[in-house]
Structure 1
């Protein structure tokens, strides 16, 4: 019999929150940046699942928290934007796992914080929304790894911050929820990479912010939890790309915001942790 549960593994070298983590092609996990309630970090480290240990790797050129981290098709890692304790950032850098070094590359057109980054099927990276220190953004831009350049693409219909982006099986990108500086949003929109344009699609049943989005094996998108401006949510809903509609599905046992969801190899979805005026250690399966 296999017992399911959590096992302690090695501790990171630096305590950090609001950092990013990515699984590299070699199976190691790259963690970058974050905040330790004293310093904004530019450190990075690697977790080796075969040994359960962490080792420091090259330091980023800039400290950053609430940035994005994307593994490109060539295995390099693109880090964009964030906040360094003084400024909202438009700077961008690339990590090369073969040399464990960082290279600063062309900056984004906008500084961004709590934005999204999605690696498209053509290898380009779509960046959407966020906050630049004065404005909530509806702008979007594309990074092309073949040229190293950024180009502006169509703007979203609404400004969004702390929204979620999901790449659908047809290559479109679904954006759902967030905050526009005035309201918590239930609206959704779709990006067509072939035209660089956005179209409005069905709205969620609940406005949500700091929620999660997971593309299921059947192609539907599962949205869980979040905050609607007055309540922490335990509700969940499904987006069907074939109809453009949202339907309610079973609620989580606990309300959760700022949590994570992960698709397991058997197709189940694991929801972990989060915040509802207290930090949560609980987990549950969908």
Structure 2
């Protein structure tokens, strides 16, 4: 792609606005080739078919403009930005943009990613191309680097957990070569150690976990030795005690969950026992301990990633369904109780990834399994505001 961008930056057929107009012709025929007549697009004597779509083009431009090792000059980069803005005038501007970050050192999928105030995004366990991992790695946004933390006490994939006040991390369950586990641990940042907690009542993997306002942790669904489960439990950290909760309405594996600004918990997506891969979900109300139906997401997904954005909306990205591995997203607005299609796809297709917010409100998406079945360490960052220019 860099060579294509370089050729475009040498455009001699007119102003950058003309180049942008040509690039945006794919809006008319959905060919992503820059032309209405469905013939291959030719720039500087080289054919570049099916490469220069509107959103794809703008994502590529921002990636290249923010690349410190790019061979493009500052003037050429400015030219590309103007071209991208012209494309944006002829197609809806998503209002978001992605950029690649340094790769996570341990390439893996089926990861647990946690983060929050005082806790930079931390990736725990997962499965590499060689097997189950105990690796724990943390991304430090200030200097754009990954650092290792003490390894998790056992190798696990599909573990569940949450970030806690004081820099602590709660982790439970998962799967490894010995099967499903009920082991649970707490990361103590002061001692830099993993402290054993009381075992969970259910040995399971691919469940969801949410921190509730009272400090208890809600763990629901997943897969155990008997298959998909709807079992739901609360964990009281102060008492180191598990409490049985009313089961979820359906058994679910590989779904996602989020705590909403209005105090409800949303659990959705995944594979359910009553209908395959689904976009349907439920709300859980901690005060009444009731489950109620939630609007179905536009795209059913298995093993997607999710995060609550600073504006309170839920973003669900990537995953897998009958169409294959995805890079698209859906956005849920709790105030309107509606879903919309997220306008800015991830930079790669992947599933079994993880997401966490950075302190500046941007979103980190890391790890996963790509469309070819390989574990990846790819890290991408989603930031709101296309017109602000590339960030570093």
TM band (smaller chain): 0.7 to 0.9
> For residues 62 and 153 of structure 1, what CA distance do their matches in structure 2 show?
27
Distance change (3 Å), C-alpha of 1:197 and 1:41: same
Distance change (3 Å), C-alpha of 1:45 and 1:283: closer
Matched, 1:3 2:96: no
Matched, 1:276 2:386: no
Measured after TM superposition, the shift of residue 88 of structure 1 is 0.2
Match of 2:259 among 138, 142, 167: 167
> For residues 163 and 251 of structure 2, what CA distance do their matches in structure 1 show?
26
The structure that has the greater radius of gyration is: 2
Measured after TM superposition, the shift of residue 136 of structure 1 is 0.3
Gaps of 5+ in 2: 1-64, 68-98, 385-392
Match of 2:306 among 213, 216, 220: 213
Match of 1:90 among 182, 185, 193: 182
Tell me which of the two structures has the higher relative contact order, counting C-alpha pairs closer than 8 angstroms and 6 or more residues apart. Answer: 2
Distance change (3 Å), C-alpha of 1:192 and 1:19: same
Alignment correspondent of 1:143: 235
Measured after TM superposition, the shift of residue 158 of structure 1 is 1.1
Alignment correspondent of 2:321: 228
Counterparts of 1:4-83 in structure 2, within 5 Å, are 6=100, 8=102, 12=105, 17-23=109-115, 30-42=122-134, 44=136, 52=145, 54-55=147-148, 57=150, 59-83=151-175
Matched, 1:127 2:190: no
Measured after TM superposition, the shift of residue 49 of structure 1 is 6.3
Measured after TM superposition, the shift of residue 26 of structure 1 is 5.6
> For residues 330 and 354 of structure 2, what CA distance do their matches in structure 1 show?
16
Alignment correspondent of 1:195: 288
Distance change (3 Å), C-alpha of 1:206 and 1:125: same
Q: Residues 347 and 380 of structure 2 are in contact (CA less than 8 Å); yes or no, is this contact kept in structure 1?
A: no
RMSD: 3.4
Distance change (3 Å), C-alpha of 1:276 and 1:221: same
Distance change (3 Å), C-alpha of 1:283 and 1:137: same
> For residues 123 and 332 of structure 2, what CA distance do their matches in structure 1 show?
30
> For residues 214 and 259 of structure 2, what CA distance do their matches in structure 1 show?
12
Measured after TM superposition, the shift of residue 269 of structure 1 is 5.0
Q: Residues 92 and 108 of structure 1 are in contact (CA less than 8 Å); yes or no, is this contact kept in structure 2?
A: yes
Q: Residues 225 and 236 of structure 1 are in contact (CA less than 8 Å); yes or no, is this contact kept in structure 2?
A: yes
Alignment correspondent of 1:239: 332
TM-score (norm 2): 0.61
How many residues matched?
A: 282
Q: Residues 232 and 255 of structure 1 are in contact (CA less than 8 Å); yes or no, is this contact kept in structure 2?
A: no
Structure (1 or 2) with the greater helix fraction:
2
SS in 2 for 1:141: strand
Measured after TM superposition, the shift of residue 235 of structure 1 is 4.2
TM-score (norm 1): 0.81
Distance change (3 Å), C-alpha of 1:271 and 1:95: closer
